[in-house]
Amino acid sequence: IIGEGGEIVLGNAVPGSINITGERAFPLIEDDKGTIVAAASEVEKGRAVAFTHGAFLKSADLYGQPPAARAVKNAIRWVGRSSTPSVGVHPKLKSFSVILQKAGFQTHVFAVDEMKNHDVAVYCVVANDLAQEVNSVRLSEFINDGGGVVTATTPWAFKEKFPDFSRFPGNRVLAATGIQYNPDGYMAKGPIQLTGISKGAELLRVTQQALASLGVTDSESAARALAAADKDQSPESLGALITKMREAKRLRGTELESFLVALRDLNEAIGPIIPTKVSPVVPGADPLVDAIIELETFFNENTPAGVMYAIPAASDYPGHVPEDAERISKTFMIDGTYHGWLEGRLAGGWAAKEMRPTGIYAAPGEVIRVTLPAKLAGEGFEVVIGSYNGGLKNRNEWHRYPDWQVKVPVNSSTTEASNGLGGIVTIRVPREANYDQLKVTVEGGVAAPIYVHGETDLDQWKSEIRNYPGPWAELASDRMIIAIPSDYIRGLSDPDALMEVWNGIIDTSANLVGVDRSLYRAERIVFDRQTAAGFMHSSYPVAAHLEGTAELAVDAKRLMEEGSWGFFHEYGHNHQHNLWALPRTVETTCNLWSVYVYEEFIGTNRNETHRAMRPLDRRQRINAYFAGGPNFEEWGVWTALETYLMVQEKFGWGPFTKVFIEYNELEKEEWPKGQQEINDQWVIRLSKACGMNLKPFWSTWGLPLSNSVSEELKTLPVWEAHPVARFAKSEF
């Protein structure tokens, strides 16, 4: 299929990953960590090839790369069993049809429900365009009847829409092929390598021979053979057993229960597997460890409550539950209204479901039972176990299991849930929910420390609540919810003062954009052993590493004395708006909040907040940027920040807040269209707010602006003596 192989460059596209679940399926394209980016399968009559990004069938740029074009065209030839098969193409791929015609294929553009009217050997479709389930079934039947399907999609983008990912259209189409799209996996940006079909076909042959020699007939016997295997086992035999074991994803009922016993025994036999910072799991280093974690994660997220066992690593992280901890029943009230956040915040997770604390911890593998009003069934509410859903598939090493959150939809008045790794229990409230206080009962969990600002009695907190046995705690106010391992709050005696500080941080952040935070959700931050991206990342929740930040986050005195550029930076991200985002400033303008919160709330001068803010560093940065003439392509994070700070240092924060409010109130039809309009509108609006024409200043820095900006600002006095006027090359 791949031909002579090669390298594909996808630019900013981020492909997903595929799980091989059947013995007739094999990988076609992998990244350097072994993530399967494309796979092929041959069932009794039909064939299928699946790619994990829509660009493989939609991007004209991709077809300009010979290895990519060859892979896609050869995939069509292979599934069609001909050098020039007749090809059906989904109506949303008309440009792809033209490309195929130029390559010598005969194509027919039609919808899946018109299949019976066309005699084609192959059908090409982007899987997420299959809106109706019946069309996914039709294509699956087409494969079973001897047809060939080439499909592409970006699976991770549809994780939220399909909590049960077996119902994702791509997985419905490929149900019988042994190929399944993975909702969690994705590869890092960068080139990907192609392997050849000869390799895949040879792997299939070797696998079958190895299994026969070992007497392995199913996934359970494969797992038991792996547990008993000699460490010097050949790579071919090891690979064959792992491939067979992975087929367990299709098991149900007693067969699955029996397999999970074997999988747990295998984990214990080779380890047990306990990823830590000192002894991390390195993906790709040991295919057996990778396969065990993959299967445990899959079953943890996709089996009914109580089926998945307590994963051995759980006692290390997210934490040990004392054996004598009482399993309790707790009834309480939660806010049933979705408060949300302003639409369009760049990284603020503005559309995320909101998480309500419960003060309950689910022990690893144990079932909790949650009772909610029956009217919530099917409305999008969820019971969640685990404080953080940040996956680690893009990390080079894992200090914990890569996924440790389980979400169960509320489909009746009683919902059962479990998590093999355990975790704090929350209730997720969906968008559009508009209920008053809702009564909740949770049974079977362990009491976890919880503080609710303005409600929890401080004496009871100090004498009892902070010592509850749950290994994770939550501290909540109407501005902020902190999820953190309980060890960090056992000695916290005044959560009241702490949450007042956090309230001030969030309110001050909102003041810069002219927003009353009482109208919106409480923000949320979780402290994790290893975050999904960076040292911290924004969204809902913000995530931060435990090491170096967790202790500061629960120390009111230190927070007010030291502040935290990182915390303020991430909540700056949550307040940014894409409508005024100049090129490459996502990591720039969030720092306005770091400066603002430090100065307006903490009371620290900007010069003393971050080494990059020291006056000498700032001068050197400016001089370096203009040394060879301004090059806007080198307008990096800190250099770009200077432009905003110079305006602020001349005109104050007021004009910024005025402009941010304008953007907040824009109707959608008034939103800037395209980057050029964003640039122009920013300079026009900020100039008017400052009462001075700022175009010469921004143009000196090299920001691309239209001629119309000058016309729009011609009545304003020009800011001629701006701080970089000496670098200007012409009059504006």
Residues 706 and 607 reside in one and the same domain: yes
Q: Which whole number is the average pLDDT over 656-675?
A: 93
Q: Is the pLDDT of residue 504 over 50?
A: yes
Tokens of 662: 């304008």
Tens digits of residue pLDDT in 391-400: 888 889 999 9
C-beta atoms surrounding 562 within 10 Å = 13
Residues 234 and 344 reside in one and the same domain: no
Q: How far apart are CA 572 and CA 335, in angstroms?
A: 26
Q: Is the residue at 202 inside a domain?
A: no
- Res. 198 pLDDT band, cuts 50 70 90: very low
Across 11-20, 115-124, 690-699, which has the greatest mean pLDDT? 690-699
Residue 607 sits at φ, ψ, to 5 deg, of -65, -20
Instruction: Tell me whether strands 106-109 and 86-89 are parallel, antiparallel or unpaired.
Output: parallel
Instruction: Tell me whether strands 354-362 and 47-51 are parallel, antiparallel or unpaired.
Output: unpaired
How is the chain split among helix, strand and coil, in percent rounded to 5?
A: 45, 20, 40
Q: Can you give the pLDDT at residue 731?
A: 42
Lowest mean pLDDT among 316-320, 438-442, 725-729: 725-729
Tokens of 383: 């019971």
Residues 583 and 540 reside in one and the same domain: no
Tens digits of residue pLDDT in 83-101: 899 999 999 999 999 999 9
Q: How far apart are CA 2 and CA 56, in angstroms?
A: 13
- Res. 644 pLDDT band, cuts 50 70 90: very high
Output the CA torsion sign for 670, 673, 678, 684: negative
Residues 456 and 399 reside in one and the same domain: yes
Q: Which DSSP string do the residues of 248-271 spell out, in sequence order?
A: GGG--HHHHHHHHHHHHHHHHHH-
Tens digits of residue pLDDT in 280-297: 999 989 999 999 999 999
Residues 300 and 350 reside in one and the same domain: no
Q: How far apart are CA 568 and CA 573, in angstroms?
A: 9
Instruction: Reduce the DSSP state of residue 651 to 3 states and report it.
Output: helix
Q: How far apart are CA 392 and CA 403, in angstroms?
A: 7
Instruction: Reduce the DSSP state of residue 45 to 3 states and report it.
Output: coil
Q: Is the residue at 334 inside a domain?
A: yes
* Residue, of 23 and 723, whose pLDDT is higher: 723
10 Å CB burial of residue 92 (0-12, 13-18, 19+) is middle
Q: Is the residue at 321 inside a domain?
A: no
Q: How far apart are CA 680 and CA 695, in angstroms?
A: 9
DSSP structural state of residue 669: G
Phi-psi region of 588 (alpha: psi -120 to 50; beta: other; left: phi over 0): alpha
Of the candidates 566, 596, 631, which is a domain's last residue?
566
Residues 510 and 542 reside in one and the same domain: yes
Q: Can you give the pLDDT at residue 623?
A: 93
Residues 405 and 518 reside in one and the same domain: yes
Residue that the structure tokens 């299994």 belong to = 211
List Cβ neighbours of 568 (8 Å cut-off, separation of 6 or more). Answer: 505, 509, 593, 594, 596, 597, 598
Q: Is the residue at 255 inside a domain?
A: yes
What is the chain's length? Answer: 732
Q: Can you give the pLDDT at residue 390?
A: 87
The interaxial angle of helices 586-597 and 495-512, nearest 10 deg, is 120
Output the CA torsion sign for 502, 503, 504, 508: positive
Q: How far apart are CA 633 and CA 456, in angstroms?
A: 53
Q: Is the residue at 55 inside a domain?
A: yes
DSSP structural state of residue 415: E
- Residue 358 · residue 475 · CB < 8 Å: no
Tokens of 490: 């056992």
Residues 292 and 416 reside in one and the same domain: no
Output the CA torsion sign for 185, 186, 188, 191: positive
Q: Is the residue at 212 inside a domain?
A: no
The interaxial angle of helices 637-651 and 654-665, nearest 10 deg, is 110
CATH number, domain at 135? Answer: 3.40.640
Q: How far apart are CA 554 and CA 25, in angstroms?
A: 50
Q: Is the residue at 572 inside a domain?
A: no
Q: How far apart are CA 205 and CA 253, in angstroms?
A: 30
- Residue 338 · residue 432 · CB < 8 Å: yes
- Residue 620 · residue 639 · CB < 8 Å: no
Residues 426 and 309 reside in one and the same domain: no
Q: How far apart are CA 663 and CA 363, in angstroms?
A: 46
Q: How many domains does the chain have?
A: 4
Across 16-30, 392-406, 445-459, which has the greatest mean pLDDT? 445-459
Q: Is the pLDDT of residue 190 over 60?
A: no
Q: How far apart are CA 276 and CA 214, in angstroms?
A: 34
Of the candidates 285, 314, 343, which is a domain's last residue?
314
Q: What is the mean pLDDT of the chain?
A: 91
Residues 252 and 377 reside in one and the same domain: no
Residues 27 and 79 reside in one and the same domain: yes
CATH number, domain at 397? Answer: 2.60.120.1250
Q: How far apart are CA 553 and CA 498, in angstroms?
A: 8
Residues 456 and 493 reside in one and the same domain: yes
Tens digits of residue pLDDT in 240-260: 899 889 888 878 899 999 999
Q: How far apart are CA 345 and CA 350, in angstroms?
A: 6
- Residue 238 · residue 228 · CB < 8 Å: no
Of the candidates 262, 290, 314, which is a domain's last residue?
314
Q: Can you give the pLDDT at residue 186?
A: 63
Q: Is the residue at 208 inside a domain?
A: no
- Residue 702 · residue 635 · CB < 8 Å: yes
Rg (the chain; Cα; Å): 28
Q: How far apart are CA 728 and CA 732, in angstroms?
A: 9
Tens digits of residue pLDDT in 54-70: 999 988 777 778 888 88
Output the CA torsion sign for 168, 80, 145, 198: negative
* Residue, of 499 and 431, whose pLDDT is higher: 499
Q: How far apart are CA 243 and CA 478, in angstroms?
A: 49
Q: How far apart are CA 466 and CA 487, in angstroms?
A: 9
Chain mean position to CA 547: 22
DSSP structural state of residue 145: T
Lay out the sheet containing 450-452: strands in order across.
450-452, 472-476, 480-485, 523-528, 542-545, 536-537
Give the pTM.
0.79
Boundaries of domain holding 437: 327-566
144: enclosing H helix or E strand: helix 133-144
CATH number, domain at 712? Answer: 1.10.390.30
